[in-house]
């Protein structure tokens, strides 16, 4: 007789959570997921991945956060770059450059292109993002109790509005990938727009994973372009507020700067200070309308802001958050679970 599926986990006295749902982006997200598996070896883990980074280039549909998650968990990732395939070759890019066919600023390795060819032809055949991800995962994921789920089957793309004196209104929108990869996140950000988000719905697999979980973990991914879009998809926040699970969030900002990526360039544009405390309160306690968290875990660097977060109605904890190994990540995840119990 298994324990009630929604019984909140209390690892101090009872078995670990049977079902864990994780909200994650790409590079940091995959490191976090390895820690979740190390923390809870027996659990079903459903990883809900951001797809607002997706882009179509050279006629191919590219899903960076999904592919990074699959490659990383399947040991096929270029661990130096944190994205793309290991042992990559670049003949296709060299040929495109020779043809003078743009864009060449987005580096597509030959092995990586095979993934985009598979995805693009399955999309053309009418398969959903969820079906395609499951098909790709059958090659990359050998963990029968781990599922990688796109946040939605609908098309959502993050665009960044930047100042541009040449443009008529003095500003223009660029795709997030152009902002990050070609423009190196340099231009001042006036706004972040997730195109298509207002009509995107969470898949049934995503809402089921969230509502039946014993534990939900919001990973330390970019709050604006990774976690933000997931929370913005219709059905996700209601599922997070309805779930019987504990919902724990983990800061990706330490000492006022993101550990990875460019969140510091984007948070001000949505009116959120670049600090672990501000991000936690931005996600908000479940006791507040729209809030999603039962607890917020920050790094010891930010221990002095535990009180401010707690006064904001969100129980907070400060422990070492660096994901230098799955065991280190598992340690802070378990510390968060025990704190929230």
- Which region, left, alpha or beta, applies to residue 336 given φ > 0 means left and ψ of -120 to 50 means alpha? alpha
CB 60 to ligand FO1: min, Å: 10
Q: What is the four-CA torsion angle of 79, 275, 217, 227, rounded to 10 degrees?
A: -70
Residue number, 58 or 334, with CB nearest to ligand FO1 = 58
For residue 307, CA distances in Å to 39, 175, 302, 315 come to 27, 38, 10, 9
Residue number, 57 or 145, with CB nearest to ligand FO1 = 57
Instruction: Please enumerate in sequence order all residues whose Cβ is within 8 A of that of 13, keeping only pairs 6 or more positions apart, or say none.
Output: none
CB 180 to ligand FO1: min, Å: 5
CA distance 329 to 334: 9
CB 279 to ligand FO1: min, Å: 17
CB 181 to ligand FO1: min, Å: 4
What is the enclosing helix (H) or strand (E) of 49? Answer: strand 44-49
CB 65 to ligand FO1: min, Å: 6
CB 253 to ligand FO1: min, Å: 15
CA distance 42 to 153: 28
Residue number, 8 or 187, with CB nearest to ligand FO1 = 187
Residue number, 77 or 281, with CB nearest to ligand FO1 = 77
CB 67 to ligand FO1: min, Å: 4
Phi first, then psi, for residue 315 (nearest 5°) are: -55, 135
CB 299 to ligand FO1: min, Å: 20
Structural tokens at position 36: 């979740």
Residue 248, beta-bridge partner list: 217, 295
Determine the distance from the C-alpha atom of residue 83 to the mean position of all C-alpha atoms in its chain, rounded to a whole number.
14
Residue number, 122 or 281, with CB nearest to ligand FO1 = 122
> DSSP per residue over 62-124, as a string?
E-HHHHHHHHHHTT-B-TTTTSSBTT---HHHHHHHHHTPSP-SS---HHHHHHHHHHHHHHH
Residue number, 229 or 235, with CB nearest to ligand FO1 = 229
Tokens 């309308």, residue located: 289
Residue number, 35 or 252, with CB nearest to ligand FO1 = 252
Residue number, 112 or 294, with CB nearest to ligand FO1 = 112
CA distance 212 to 232: 20
Which residues of this protein are in contact with ligand FO1, per CB under 6 A? 25-27, 53, 62, 64, 67-68, 83-84, 106-108, 112, 177, 180-181, 261
């Amino acid at each position: 007789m298994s324990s009630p599926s929604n019984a909140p986990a209390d690892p101090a006295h009872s078995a670990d959570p049977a079902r864990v749902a994780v909200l994650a982006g790409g590079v940091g997200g995959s490191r976090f997921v390895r820690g979740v598996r190390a923390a809870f070896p027996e659990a079903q883990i459903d990883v809900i991945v951001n797809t607002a980074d997706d882009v179509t280039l050279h006629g191919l549909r590219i899903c960076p956060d999904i592919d990074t998650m699959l490659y990383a968990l399947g040991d096929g990732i270029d661990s130096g770059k944190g994205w793309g395939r290991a042992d990559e070759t670049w003949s296709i890019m060299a040929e495109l450059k020779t043809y003078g066919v743009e864009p060449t600023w987005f580096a597509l390795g030959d092995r990586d292109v095979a993934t985009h060819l598979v995805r693009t032809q399955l999309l053309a055949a009418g398969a959903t993002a969820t079906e395609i991800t499951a098909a790709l995962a059958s090659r990359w994921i050998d963990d029968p109790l781990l599922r990688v789920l796109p946040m939605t089957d609908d098309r959502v793309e993050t665009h960044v509005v930047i100042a541009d004196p040449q443009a008529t209104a003095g500003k223009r929108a660029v795709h997030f990938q152009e902002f990050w990869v070609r423009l190196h996140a340099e231009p001042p950000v006036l706004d972040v727009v997730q195109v298509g988000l207002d009509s995107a719905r969470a898949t049934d697999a995503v809402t089921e994973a969230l509502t039946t979980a014993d534990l939900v973990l919001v990973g330390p991914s970019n709050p604006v372009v990774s976690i933000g879009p997931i929370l913005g998809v219709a059905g996700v926040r209601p599922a997070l507020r309805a779930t019987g699970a504990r919902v724990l969030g983990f800061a990706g900002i330490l000492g006022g700067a993101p550990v990875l990526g460019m969140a510091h360039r984007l948070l001000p544009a949505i009116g959120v200070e670049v600090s672990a405390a501000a991000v936690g309160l931005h996600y908000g306690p479940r006791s507040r309308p729209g809030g999603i968290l039962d607890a917020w875990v920050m790094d010891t660097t930010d221990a002095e802001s535990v009180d401010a977060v707690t006064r904001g109605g969100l129980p907070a904890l400060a422990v070492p958050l660096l994901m230098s190994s799955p065991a280190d990540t598992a340690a802070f995840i378990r510390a968060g679970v025990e704190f929230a119990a």
